[in-house]
Structure 1
Amino acid sequence: MAEGLDAERLACWRAYIESSQRLLNQLDDELRTTSELSLADYHVLVLLSETPRQRLRMGELASRLVFSPSRLTYQISSMERRGLVARQSCPEDRRGSEAVLTAAGLLTLREAAPHHAASVRGHLMDDLDDAEVACLTRVFDRLGSRLKPNGIPSPEPLRLRTEEN
């Protein structure tokens, strides 16, 4: 039988699972209320907006979202019906397809971003000091790198604007 967790690690694990799920649910509920976007919708729009041509191959997008191909197909189809993204053939390889950010999708993202940033600050970041932010970043970067499938490149980390920029 596998060795269990000691009391301290079990408490850490449970606190992480319960609080992270509550945080994601709260952020999703607030996004839906203020913008009619789900957290998954928002993440797709952000990733597409950060690419030079505002488009990504479906496989790369699925990898970056940590979605199965079928889940991404469902997600993109839903967003396509609402005019937020379009699906187009890859210019370099007609066998593949890309998700493309539409003008409506970019506008929706720009309108949702301030409300979402305020939610993230209010429900998470404002409760952390600089050392805690640095520690959590190190922990989750390390875990994320270790859990990525081999051969999938890490995207450039998002650089948030600060008052100094």
Structure 2
Amino acid sequence: MRPTRTELHAWRTFLRAHARVTRVLEAELVAEQQLSLGGYDVLVQLAEAPDHRLRMAELADAVLLSRSGVTRLVDRLERAGMVARERVPGDGRGVVATLTAHGLDVLRTASRTHLAGVSEHFVARLSAEQLAYLGELCGKLAD
């Protein structure tokens, strides 16, 4: 069954809104913090994880990147001293990414930029009721 024009309009509007907001947030993070939105997301996921560490596969699932994409991103963050990789004891193939103290400092600074952008480009444009409803709708899509 094909979507109706109204349904396609809703879909395309959703995609445009997501693309616009993420482009702006990415540009602000890069300009002010020299950190990509993907890099910020990796740091957040690690900061929120137990012991600030996740297996690479878990990290890839959490940030919605392919395993090869997250590997390249973690490579860049590791070179910058924000993330360290460690082998999992007793698991020859297991590797975890760990947030370093420097990575946590970078995240704290970058969070000010990112959260100000979220407030300006997302929260401020919707009422409290609209935000609650949007959260509910997106929850249904995410499940």
Q: TM-score, normalised by structure 2?
A: 0.94
CA distance in 1 between counterparts of 2:68 and 2:119 reads 32
Matched with 1:38 is: 36
Matched with 1:68 is: 66
Matched with 2:15 is: 17
Higher normalized contact order (CA 8 Å, seq sep 6+, divided by chain length): 2
Deviation at 1:92, TM superposition (A): 5.4
Matched with 1:80 is: 78
Deviating 4+ runs (over 6 angstroms):
none
CA distance in 2 between counterparts of 1:92 and 1:139 reads 43
- The 3-state SS of whatever aligns with 1:100 is strand
- The one-character-per-residue Cα deviations of 1:59-89 (angstroms, maximum 9, x if unpaired) are 1111111111111111111111111101101
CA distance in 2 between counterparts of 1:95 and 1:86 reads 16
CA distance in 2 between counterparts of 1:112 and 1:45 reads 10
The structure with more strand, counted as a fraction of residues: 2
CA distance in 1 between counterparts of 2:12 and 2:142 reads 19
Q: TM-score, normalised by structure 1?
A: 0.82
Deviation at 1:104, TM superposition (A): 0.8
The structure with more helix, counted as a fraction of residues: 2
CA RMSD of aligned residues (A): 1.3
- The 3-state SS of whatever aligns with 2:120 is helix
Question: What is the number of residues matched between the two proteins?
Answer: 143
- The 3-state SS of whatever aligns with 2:49 is coil
Unpaired stretches in structure 2, ≥5 consecutive residues: none
Mean CA deviation greater in 10-19 or 28-37: 10-19
